[in-house]
Amino acid sequence: MTRIQKEASKESLLINMGPSHPAMHGTIRIMLELEGEVVRNSEVEVGYLHRGFEKTCEHKTYFNLLPYTDRLNYVSPLINNLGYVMTMEKMLEMEAPERAQYIRVIMSEFSRVSDHLTALAAMTMECGAFTVFLYYIQAREEIWNFIEQTTGARMTTSYIRIGGVRADLHPDFKGLMDKAMKVTRRVLKDVKGLLDKNKIWMDRTRDVAVVNPEMAVNYGFTGPCLRASGVSYDVRKAHPYLVYDQLEFEVPLGDKGDNFDRYMVRMKEMEQSLRIIEQAVEKMPESSSRAGLMAKGIEPDEAIKASRSKKAEERVKLSPNLQGSEKDVRPDILVKGKKYTVPPKEDTYTNIEGLINHFNFFMSGHGIRPPKGDVYFSVEGGNGELGFYIVSDGTDHPYRLHLRAPCLHIVSALEEMIKGHYIADIIPTFGSTNMIGGELDR
């Protein structure tokens, strides 16, 4: 017998909402105690998507566990990559090249916009605003086209690596990037016109599930949900990382901490993310690589001659999926040294030293071996402070790895947020928390 079953009065009606309810996304179960249509009490049960992320990572090498981070918040996997690799870089006392840092900012902010678009698309669709859902997804599609061009994948990218990024930006990245930003800005403008003064939308969201600043802090809220309650905390401002301290952007805040404010803060944050991207592209140092030469209009054959010898090009031809990670590109996007990065494929395929270095990097007991100790580092994820705590025992895999998942703290407050409201209010309230099962349950 659950807690709510013991506490329920005889006049109450007990029902389940989820995990099969569409709005619960198959990963949340809410036991409701109802008096008519009013929620008098509830009990939220999570864990339906538990995969043992942390224990799995403890049995993988520091390099090979990277793809598992993609599966946390799978709507913004690049920020998950970033949080993990920057924790490792703090442990290894290294810093990525400047161009790689700007690329990380660009990809992270596009991921943030993608995350907010998806969150609001689900929230509005579940309230009946299907047209708005289609607009949001149209913008997200353009962003994913840009991400796919650079990383080779739409969602599970494994793109941001320890010491830098896997590959440089595509020579023609500005075309898709400009299109994605143009479409996103148009969509945000159209959605504002459809929703901001829409009476139905206002009735469904205004003064519903109010979270005051004290309650938000006590539950450990971070991210848009905390800022919607009027608390100005953003990891990018409070503890700047990468080149965020060199970029200008604002931290939007809400007034009441209700469902409408959580919607509005995400809308404004997307505008700020696009502003950050524009600054990053403008300030990013030019690449000295083949990609950079091609971007200046130099023919591919000339770029090859300028970047490496023709003899080397004839000796080894890399597959298309390695484009942007050629040997001459690496100084711009990865730290130097064979200890922490995969050897260049040109060396692996053409000389015995490169092959030995490749095997040493991936062999059990070798590879990346940070010194003994522990470290914590956090970044601003789509849902808030995304932090990794790693304990090293000097081997090539973590002794302990723990994720500070922003979703968990927000969902933990759901019982209090929906209390006293109608059944119908649960849907936009749950949507406003942007629960991502992979991050919540791990």
* Predicted local confidence at residue 310, as pLDDT: 46
- Render pLDDT for 181-205 as a digit per residue (tens, 0 to 9): 999 999 999 999 998 889 998 988 8
- Render pLDDT for 228-245 as a digit per residue (tens, 0 to 9): 998 989 899 999 999 999
The pair of three-digit structure tokens given for residue 237, joined into one six-digit string: 């401002």
- Render pLDDT for 362-412 as a digit per residue (tens, 0 to 9): 887 778 888 999 999 999 988 889 999 999 988 888 999 999 989 889 989
Where helices occur in 196-289 by DSSP H, the ranges are 199-205, 213-219, 223-228, 235-238, 259-283
**Domain map of the chain by residue range?**
3-45
* Predicted local confidence at residue 257, as pLDDT: 87
Helices 173-195 and 130-151, axial angle in degrees (round to 10): 160
The mean pLDDT of 31-52, rounded to a whole number, is 87
Q: CA–CA separation, 160 vs 334, rounded Å?
A: 10
Mean pLDDT of the chain: 85
pLDDT at 309 over 60: no
The pair of three-digit structure tokens given for residue 204, joined into one six-digit string: 């469904």
* Predicted local confidence at residue 135, as pLDDT: 93
* Predicted local confidence at residue 298, as pLDDT: 52
User: By C-alpha distance, which of 162, 231, 205, 197 is closest to 424?
Assistant: 205
**Count of CB atoms within 10 A of residue 376's CB?**
13
